[in-house]
Each structure stands twice: as structure tokens, then as C-alpha cells.
Amino acid sequence: MHKTFDNIGSTLEKSGKINERFVFGAVETTSPQYQLEYQNLIELRRKEGRRVTFNDGLNLAKRYQPKNRETQLPENPWNPTKKFPKDLRKMVESELDLKKGDENRLLFWTTIGSIVDYNFGTDAVLELIPDDITQSSLYVRLDTTINPEKIKKYAEKHNYNRVIIGEIPDFNENRRIYFDFLRETAQQICNQFKQMEEESLSRAKFNI
């Protein structure tokens, strides 16, 4: 059974163009502390002769999530205030059938404006923390676009740990279409998580 969803505060864009900042919120990249950490990270990796990795960028973005307008505290990754991320996270939680007490294993992170966005083409990330604390978190990357060529390109090839989100239906205009879209997107995300879990178990079994 699917869980109930918050119907308050539907403000999805009506222009026909996806505004990622509007939908997901943006990382606090203008923060002087973020800028300092970002430059230090680049310098550290340069000295090591390596590039900044996806995980490097995500760990930095996690520390500078957008602030809640009311509390002025960073967004709660277990309970985003933006409607679409909030509903999507709840739907994924339901589709994964997480047991009571396990809900906090699923987190939502925006990466808009960060190096994860610009260097890795990722607008947001859903993180699933495994039951086994010796295992690493699983990440599904979300990329929003209404570019038909881009959507077609991604549809024609296997996209490991990435889900493309097209134009999001307006909740206020047609709730059924909105939730159908939400459920379909959540199922794609869950399929990615399940595939990664299976591969992780396989690697552990054969000590890969």
C-alpha cells in the first residue's frame, strides 16, 4: 500500500520548461565556506594528480544543502520541503517497502549548482544506506530535461544508476497524471537500486 502524500504547497512550474533550481532547490555554492572547501578540494586532488570525483563533489554538496525558509537550517534529506522531491522520496520509500524504522536509510540531496551538476550532469541524488554497515551507500542520479534528443539518447542505452526526469506534470492541474508520473519515476529509481544491490551482493559473494 502506498503512503499518503502531502498535498500542500504545489508550486510546480507551468512554463513547460524545467527549472531545476525551482524543482529541487540549489546547493549553497555562494557560501564563502563552500567556496573555500571547494578550492581546497581541487588543490588537494591536483597535488595527488587526480580529478575531483563524483563522491568528492557529492560529499561537499551534502554539507551545503539549501536552507529551509522558515528555520534557516539546511534542508532535511529525509523530509525535503520542495514538493516534488518530497513526494518522490516518499514514493520510492513505499516502492522499496522499507520497514518501519528504516525510512531514514533513504535520503534526497540536491546537487544543483555544484560540481556534481556541472561535471557529472546530475541535478539530484537519492541515497540508499545499506542494512549492512560494512557496505557503501547506493546512489541513483537524477537528471532533469525536456530536450527530446537527450531523452531519446538516454532511452536508447543502458543507464546505470541514472534516471532521466522529463517534464513534470502539474499537481494542481491533474493529480492522477502527476502521481502516475511520480510512481513511474520511483519505479525506475527502485529498479536501479535493486540492480546495484544485486551486483553488490554478487561481488561480496565472490570477494570481488
Helix (H) or strand (E) holding 38: helix 32-48
Q: Mean pLDDT of all residues in the chain? A: 84
Q: Which helix (H) or strand (E) holds 176?
A: helix 175-205
Report yes or no: 53 and 82 within 8 Å, Cβ to Cβ: no
153 three-state secondary structure: helix
- The residue ranking higher by pLDDT, 152 or 55, is 55
pLDDT over threshold 50, residue 2: no
Q: Are 164 and 150 in contact (CB under 8 A)?
A: yes
| 207: confidence class by pLDDT, cuts 50, 70, 90 | low
Radius of gyration for the alpha carbons in the chain, expressed in angstroms and rounded? 17
**pLDDT given for residue 156 in this prediction:** 52
pLDDT for 149-187, tens place per residue? 666 666 555 566 889 998 899 999 999 999 999 999 999
Pairing of strands 162-165, 138-144: parallel
Enumerate helices (H) and strands (E) in the chain, giving the number of each.
7, 4
pLDDT band at 1; cut points 50, 70, 90: very low
Mean pLDDT of 89-116: 93
The CA dihedral of 63, 164, 176, 89, to the nearest 10 degrees, is -30
Higher pLDDT, 96 or 131: 96
pTM for this prediction: 0.83
In this predicted structure, the answer to whether residue 14 has a pLDDT above a threshold of 50 is: no
Question: Which is it for strands 124-128 and 138-144: parallel, antiparallel or unpaired?
Answer: antiparallel
Q: Regarding predicted confidence, which is higher, 22 or 91?
A: 91
At 13 the pLDDT is 39
Average pLDDT over residues 96-103: 87
Cα–Cα distance, 9 to 172 (Å, whole number):
10
Percent of the chain predicted with pLDDT > 70: 81
- Give residue 136's identity as a one-letter amino acid code: S
**Which residue, 74, 80, 93, is CA-closest to 2?**
93
Q: For residue 23, what is the DSSP state?
A: H
